[in-house]
Amino acid sequence: MPEFPKMPDFSEFTRLFATMKMPAAPTMDAFVAASRRNMETIAAANKIAMEGAQAVARRHMEIMQQGMAEMTAAMQSMAMPEEPQAKAAKQAELLKQAYEHAVANIKELGDLIQQSNAEATSLLNTRFAEAMEEVKSLAGKN
């Protein structure tokens, strides 16, 4: 007859497990309150992000309108009869101005996006730090 392996002795494990202190479980009220704070923070961060996106879209539209007005004025200016050298100098100046405006506008839009993202991220980071303190507090109660 085959011999079955001996069952391991779990008594030492059982003894260690019995002396181990488990962290206190949060009450349902504490859990619900923490969840509510988490959701409020996420909603606030989303609101900031959405307002930032709207501000970027508004500013982008203003930039486009300004660009169209500048382009119309430039086309009218270029339609005037002038010497070729004067016209070439005017074109070079218009191109330089267009380039400078484009760079400034891109930087402005980038700054708006960065500011909005920083505000939303700051809210989330603050709530995360608070949540970690709540967990530490629970663990310390044990």
Within-domain flag for 1: no
Q: How many domains does the chain have?
A: 1
Alpha helices by DSSP H, the chain? 11-19, 28-79, 84-140
Enclosing domain of residue 52: 27-140
What would the pLDDT profile of 58-69 be if each residue is shown by its tens digit? 999 999 999 999
3-state secondary structure 49-71: HHHHHHHHHHHHHHHHHHHHHHH
Within-domain flag for 78: yes
Within-domain flag for 2: no
Closest CA to 134 of 36, 61, 44: 36
Within-domain flag for 62: yes
Within-domain flag for 86: yes
Given a cut of 70, is residue 38 above it in pLDDT?
A: yes
Q: What is the reported pTM? A: 0.67
Given a cut of 70, is residue 23 above it in pLDDT?
A: no
Within-domain flag for 7: no
**pLDDT at site 101:** 94
**pLDDT at site 58:** 96
The neighbour count for residue 108, using CB atoms within 10 Å, is: 14
What would the pLDDT profile of 94-123 be if each residue is shown by its tens digit? 999 999 999 999 999 999 999 999 999 999
